[in-house]
Amino acid sequence: MSCFQHRSAIGAILTGAGAKLKFLFAAAALAALMGFPPSLSGAENVPTAAAVANSQQSGKKRMGVPAFANSSSTKDGDYGERFADMLLSELIQNRNYELIERTMIAKVLAEQRLGMTGIVDQSQVAKVGKIMALDYMVLGNILEASAINKGGTESAAISILSKGKTNVPLYRTELRVVVNLKVIKVETGEIVFSDNAEDTETITWADRPERITPERYFGSARKAIAKAAFKIIREIAPQEPAVILVKKVKDKITEVVIDMGRENGIREDQHFAIVREGQPLYGRNDEIIGVDIIEIAHVTVVRAEATTATAKVVKINNNPEAKGTYEIVRGDLLRPQDKSKVRSLTDIFAK
C-alpha cells in the first residue's frame, strides 16, 4: 500500500454512521409521539441529521470534551471547566476533529441527571455519546494540583549570607499538576487512549509565600494538557500532509511543499517529521500486524497558504542501508512533532 493509499484508507473509515442516524431519527420520533418538549427529550442538544451526515461525509471525527473531574485536594476554582477548555484549544489544531464544547455536553449530562462531570463508566459514555452522535469522548481527571512551600532555616541562612542585599529569594513553592486523559470510542465503549500528563513549576518569593491562586495552577495545567493533547492528535485520526514538491539549492534539499495549508489547520512554526512506510511487520503466526515507519527528516513550516504550505528542512536523517542521508521524495507523509522537544529555527540558525 502506497503512502497516498495509506492516508486515503485512514480517511475513508467511518464507524457507526448508519446506527447514529437511525438513533437520532428514532429519538426525535419518540419524543414527538410522547409529547415531550425539546428540553425534556434532549432534542435541542441533539445535532441535526444533516449536520451529522456532513461531518461523516467529510471524514471528520466528532469528539466531545466534558468538564474534567477533579480528584485533587484543590477545589477553590472552576478547574474542571477551565482544564476542558484548555484541551479543546489544543485539539482544535487537528482539523480531522469536529469538537463539541463542554457547555453543550453539560446540558445533555444535566438532562440525563449525570451532573457536570458525572460520566464514570463506558456505558454512560455510550449513552451520552450516542445522543450527541459522537465518535469519541475525552474524559479528563485532575489527579493532583498541589503546592508545597519550602523555606525556613536554610532560607534564613541565605539571607544572612547576602549581607542585606535585596531580591534574594527566601522561600520557594513547588507547583505540581497531574491530569489523566482517556479517549473512549463511543460505538464500542473501548478506551483507545489513556495517558497521565504532568507539569511542575517552582515559584520563588522574596518574602513569605503568597496564596497560590487558581491562575497559577492553570499555567502549569496548560503545559501538562498540551503534552497529552499532542499524543491524542498523533494517535486518533491524525492529519498527515504529503510532500508534493521538493525544492533544492545546489543539489541540496532545502524546502518541501505539502498538500495542506491554513484551511487544514497548518500554521507557521509547526514542526513535523517526514516519514515513509518501510517493511511489513509480521506477528508470531506470520500474519502482517503493521508496517515499519521510517523517519526521514525533520521540517518546520515557514509559510502557510490556504491549501498548501512550505516547510524548511531542519535535518535529514542518515540512511543505515546506504552511505549518506535519506532522499525526500514526493508522496512522503508528515507527522506532527512534539514542539517541546524540537529546537526552533532561530535556535538552529543562530549557531
91 and 183 together in one domain: yes
Q: Find the range with the poorest average confidence among 48-62, 286-300, 306-320.
A: 48-62
**Domain C-terminal end among 235, 252, 268:** 235
271 and 339 together in one domain: yes
pLDDT at 122 (0 to 100): 65
pLDDT band at 57 (very low <50, low <70, confident <90, very high): low
C-alpha distances in Å from residue 322, one per residue of 317, 319, 325, 326, 327? 12, 6, 8, 8, 11
**Domain C-terminal end among 219, 235, 251:** 235
Q: What is the CATH number of the domain that holds 248?
A: 2.40.10
What span, in angstroms and rounded, lies between the C-alpha atoms of 201 and 199? 7
Q: Strand, coil or helix: what is 290? A: strand
Assess whether pLDDT exceeds 80 at residue 25: no
Q: Find the range with the poorest average confidence among 12-16, 67-71, 200-204.
A: 12-16
214 and 265 together in one domain: no
Structural domains counted in the chain: 2
* 26 residue type, one letter: A
Strand 136-150 relative to strand 171-185, pairing: antiparallel
Q: Could you tell me which residues come within 8 angstroms of residue 4 by beta carbon, excluding any fewer than 6 positions away?
A: 242, 331
pLDDT at 61 (0 to 100): 92
* 7 residue type, one letter: R
Place of cell 541540496: 252
pLDDT band at 23 (very low <50, low <70, confident <90, very high): very low
Q: What is the CATH number of the domain that holds 129?
A: 3.40.50.10610
Assess whether pLDDT exceeds 80 at residue 349: no
Residue 3 lies in a domain: no
Assess whether pLDDT exceeds 90 at residue 317: yes
Closest to 21 measured CA to CA, from 50, 44, 42:
50
**Domain C-terminal end among 235, 261, 294:** 235
Taking only the tens place, the pLDDT of each residue in 214-242 is: 888 888 889 899 889 988 988 898 888 99
Place of cell 494540583: 145
Residue 36 lies in a domain: yes
Taking only the tens place, the pLDDT of each residue in 149-194 is: 876 434 443 444 444 555 555 778 888 999 999 999 998 888 999 9
250 and 228 together in one domain: no
106 and 163 together in one domain: yes
63 and 178 together in one domain: yes
184 and 318 together in one domain: no
pTM equals 0.66
Assess whether pLDDT exceeds 60 at residue 332: yes
Assess whether pLDDT exceeds 80 at residue 131: yes
Per-residue burial over 88-109, b if 16 or more Cβ lie within 10 Å, else e, is bebbebbebbbbbebebbbebb
Mean pLDDT of the 256-272 span? 91
* Distance from the Cα of residue 189 to its chain's centroid: 20
Taking only the tens place, the pLDDT of each residue in 70-124 is: 999 888 778 899 999 999 999 988 888 999 988 888 888 788 776 545 555 667 7
pLDDT band at 261 (very low <50, low <70, confident <90, very high): very high
pLDDT band at 51 (very low <50, low <70, confident <90, very high): low
What span, in angstroms and rounded, lies between the C-alpha atoms of 12 and 110? 34
Rg (alpha carbons) of the chain, rounded to whole number: 25
191 and 334 together in one domain: no
Closest to 100 measured CA to CA, from 92, 267, 190:
92
pLDDT at 47 (0 to 100): 57
**Structural domain boundaries enclosing 251:** 243-349
188 and 252 together in one domain: no
pLDDT at 41 (0 to 100): 40
275 and 135 together in one domain: no
pLDDT band at 35 (very low <50, low <70, confident <90, very high): very low
